[in-house]
Amino acid sequence: MNPKVKVLLFLLCLTGIFVFMREYVKQPPLLPDDCTCVCEKGDSGLMSGPDQGWFATRFNKNMQPFLSANYSLPEEAFNWWKFLQYEKRSYKVYEATMKGLLEMFPSTPNLPKPSPNHNHYRTCAVMGNSGNLRGSRYGPLIDANEVILRMNTGRVEGYEADVGHRTTHRIMYPESALDLEDNTHLVLFPFKIQDLEWLVKALSTGFSGTSYMPVKSKIKANKDLVMVINPAFMKYVHETWLGKKGRYPSTGFIALLMALHICDEVNVFGFGADKDGNWSHYWEALTNKRLKTGVHPGTQEYDIILALAKQLKIKFYRGW
């Protein structure tokens, strides 16, 4: 073959290989691969480092995780929230219910004051309920945290070696409620006005309403340690962190984001579906094989958890 043609063919091959590598091999990364930042959680630290774009465009430090007497829920956030469970009642009813609730419980959330270089808490363990905790032996690691945030009916007794002993906060809604120790904070995840009414009644005269599942009429909990998640915070997580995927974020994902807003160091345990994509629990065998992740965007939530870990914003313990 003519040497000129050979050279031309060689150059053509090289170009082809280059184009192939560019198009197919190098997928655009979800996050910059070269995150070498220290990622301190001080006021400025949160926004520093090479991940500035990804994290800073999502994290809004002014977003209030909890409702309080000096906070007014924006009406558009109320309107988003009221359709989660088809609440028909108006903003006025919400306001009146909240007024009564904040007369009975702390009017501002029970949180230690942050200092200029620190958040409310130093170290927090966010405990999802995934089956991957079974046999993990994470107990001592979890107990070493200042705050241990558990969710819904997440069991402790009999599972201490894997999930630790203490519970400083429990996030629940009426349909997932249980009795709490006197030193555990009750963090209500409200989906409807009735959930706010339930809180007031369940800790006083008893609740007699009905829901899509049986609801406890009364529960034991310390009234001074009650906190209510802000519906606008849920909307922020749904829109800003999950790009409106799924109907609304899971309890666990909201808890994780809440921890990022109130803790210096966030340690995450018990998140992740089983091999069939179901959100099974560490204390029970799965009965509903078509559970998947329900109305929640499980895949997107998991991807964001991995991304936050990669960016050193959280420590993620995957279990076994």
Going through the chain in order, the beta strands assigned E by DSSP cover 121-127, 147-151, 169-172, 185-188, 226-228, 263-269, 315-317
Among 49, 174, 246, 272, binds ligand C5P (CB under 6 A): 272
Reference 70, options 92, 22, 41, 102; nearest CA is: 102
* C-alpha to C-alpha distance for 171 and 187, rounded to whole angstroms: 5
Residue 248 annotated to the active site: yes
- If binding is defined by CB under 6 A, does position 152 make contact with ligand C5P? yes
Among 250, 267, 300, 311, binds ligand C5P (CB under 6 A): 250
For residue 36, the 8-state DSSP code is -
Query: Shortest gap between Cβ of 297 and ligand C5P (angstroms)?
Result: 11
Give every CB contact of residue 273 below 8 A, 6+ residues apart in sequence: 130, 279, 280, 292, 293, 298, 302
Among 199, 260, 273, 307, binds ligand C5P (CB under 6 A): 273
Which residue lies nearer to ligand C5P by CB, 2 or 288? 288
- If binding is defined by CB under 6 A, does position 279 make contact with ligand C5P? yes
Residue 159 annotated to the active site: no
Residue with smallest beta-carbon separation from ligand C5P: 252
**Catalytically annotated residue among 236, 248, 282, 317:** 248
* C-alpha to C-alpha distance for 302 and 310, rounded to whole angstroms: 12
Positions in 86-145 near ligand C5P (CB under 6 A): 128-131
Query: Do strands 185-188 and 169-172 pair parallel, antiparallel, or not at all (unpaired)?
Result: parallel
Which residue lies nearer to ligand C5P by CB, 102 or 124? 124
- If binding is defined by CB under 6 A, does position 174 make contact with ligand C5P? no
Q: Would you name the residues annotated as active-site residues? A: 248, 296
